[in-house]
Structure 1
Amino acid sequence: MTRRETGVLPPERRRALLEAAAVEFAEAGYERASLNRIIRGQGMSKSSFYHYFGSKEALFGAVVADIGGDLAAALGLPDPAELAEGDFWGRVRALTDRLAQASQERPGFTALARLFYLPDAPASLDASRSRIDAWIDRALEAGRSVGAVGEELPVSLQRQLVRAVLWAMDEWSVTNMDHLTEDELILLADAQLEAMRRLLAPEGSSSP
């Protein structure tokens, strides 16, 4: 159990701190992430840091809560049931396009995604993982209801396939981000979507 935050950091300083922490956690992993490096990079003292956050895990939780909330707002994340209204894969494509754009505009979003794949992430992340998994499961059920997603495999396995595709391509994108143009990032998002569609579409269906 993490201690509650004990003070209110000014919004801009809080955002800068959490963005820096997200990158540090994503690159080093939770256990090896250096709290000292994060704090020094923001020109803070340890006593100042602990006035606002009770622990390293509290900082990690704030990263997930704040940046995750900002990402959901930037995406205009729909209720999964809405994906069944009209063109399922077209709606998913619009969502992935917004995600690609948001990630390009704010690197913290990309770092946030990587936190969910950390093998040493604190247990406090489990609740967020569960909410994401529940959203994906409901999205898959919506796709199944309109015949856009096949029913040959269990939903739980389909969810694992989605996560595997997203992680592999996101990891490659992060590694090569400095060498990719905006057009290449858009093509990569299209390739990511097509990979998921091929894995999930009913047998015998053809690309739109």
Structure 2
Amino acid sequence: MPAQRWRELVATAAAEFADAGYERASLNRVIRSCGMSKSSFYHYFDSKQQLFEAVVAHVAATVAADLEVPEPADFRPDFWGLAERFLQRLVFAAERDPLFVDFGRICYLPDVPAGQDGVSGATAAIDDWLRRTLAVGRSAGAVRCDIPPGLQAHTAIAVLRAFDEWALHNRSALGPGELPRLVQAQFEALKRLLEPVQQGSA
């Protein structure tokens, strides 16, 4: 498929899946919006699931490349400073590119088909990165070590997901400047949860 047509198809299909969910997403709407014929579409894809898998794989790779995700070891010298700057990059990406937001919404769809490895693989990779990053923070003294690492990671991931899912599903209702403030609140909540407890503090 020509590159420009592929980018248009990815953006259109990602928006359709994010808005309608997997089961209610319409291939006819996607094909019509892209100005494709059905025969042209089915030359490349056999089914909605095959399109979904291709879109998820492409968008996940694009988002990861655009964000320039730091390696966990990069956080060692300035853990919380780099964490805050990385979250700010996420906000910038979300405000600049609707595809980034649509991918996030797709990751939280409740009706992804069983055995679909694209979404589960993407979320598993994110969770693994967070666990390894927290381990670096613990070894550097920036993250508390008085609770088990597994419980700490589980709690931190739950907090991040709660903020992310709410923000993604309510993105259109947020006013100017609300998303950056919400992400800052997310960062501060995570920092309060994870920073070492100071001796003598209440």
Which residue of structure 2 lines up, in the alignment, with residue 168 of structure 1? Answer: 162
Distance in 2 (alpha carbons) for counterparts of 1:20 and 1:82: 35
Task: Report the secondary structure of 1:78's partner residue.
Answer: coil
Which residue of structure 1 lines up, in the alignment, with residue 105 of structure 2? Answer: 114
Distance in 1 (alpha carbons) for counterparts of 2:149 and 2:18: 28
- Opposite residue 73 of structure 2, the aligned amino acid is A
The 5 A counterparts of 1:142-157 are 142-157=136-151
2:27 counterpart of 1:70:
no
What per-residue deviation string (whole Å, max 9, x for no partner) do you get for residues 10-69 of structure 1?
A: 222211211121122122221222222222111122221121223222222222222222
Find runs of 4+ consecutive structure 1 residues off by over 4 angstroms: none
Which residue of structure 2 lines up, in the alignment, with residue 89 of structure 1? Answer: 80
Distance in 1 (alpha carbons) for counterparts of 2:13 and 2:191: 34
Distance in 2 (alpha carbons) for counterparts of 1:168 and 1:111: 17
2:119 counterpart of 1:128:
no
Decide whether the 8 Å contact of 2:60 with 2:122 is kept in 1.
Answer: no
- Opposite residue 8 of structure 2, the aligned amino acid is A
Distance in 1 (alpha carbons) for counterparts of 2:21 and 2:150: 26
Which stretch of structure 1 is more off in the superposition, 125-134 or 69-78? 125-134
- Opposite residue 35 of structure 1, the aligned amino acid is L
Task: Measure how far apart 1:130 and its partner are.
Answer: 2.1
Task: Measure how far apart 1:70 and its partner are.
Answer: 1.6
Distance in 2 (alpha carbons) for counterparts of 1:72 and 1:93: 18
Gaps of 5+ in 2: none
Task: Report the secondary structure of 2:69's partner residue.
Answer: coil
Task: Measure how far apart 1:90 and its partner are.
Answer: 0.8
Distance in 2 (alpha carbons) for counterparts of 1:134 and 1:188: 24
Decide whether the 8 Å contact of 2:88 with 2:180 is kept in 1.
Answer: yes
Task: Measure how far apart 1:179 and its partner are.
Answer: 4.2
Which residue of structure 1 lines up, in the alignment, with residue 52 of structure 2? Answer: 60
- Opposite residue 118 of structure 1, the aligned amino acid is L
Structure 1 residues 25 and 95: CA distance shift in structure 2, 3 A: same
The count of residues paired between Structure 1 and Structure 2 equals: 195
Distance in 2 (alpha carbons) for counterparts of 1:179 and 1:36: 31
2:93 counterpart of 1:98:
no
Gaps of 5+ in 1: 1-8
TM-score by length of structure 2 reads: 0.85
Distance in 2 (alpha carbons) for counterparts of 1:37 and 1:115: 17
Structure 1 residues 152 and 36: CA distance shift in structure 2, 3 A: farther
2:131 counterpart of 1:137:
yes
Distance in 1 (alpha carbons) for counterparts of 2:72 and 2:186: 19
Task: Measure how far apart 1:99 and its partner are.
Answer: 0.8
- Opposite residue 56 of structure 1, the aligned amino acid is K
Structure 1 residues 106 and 188: CA distance shift in structure 2, 3 A: same
Distance in 1 (alpha carbons) for counterparts of 2:148 and 2:38: 48
Which residue of structure 1 lines up, in the alignment, with residue 175 of structure 2? Answer: 180
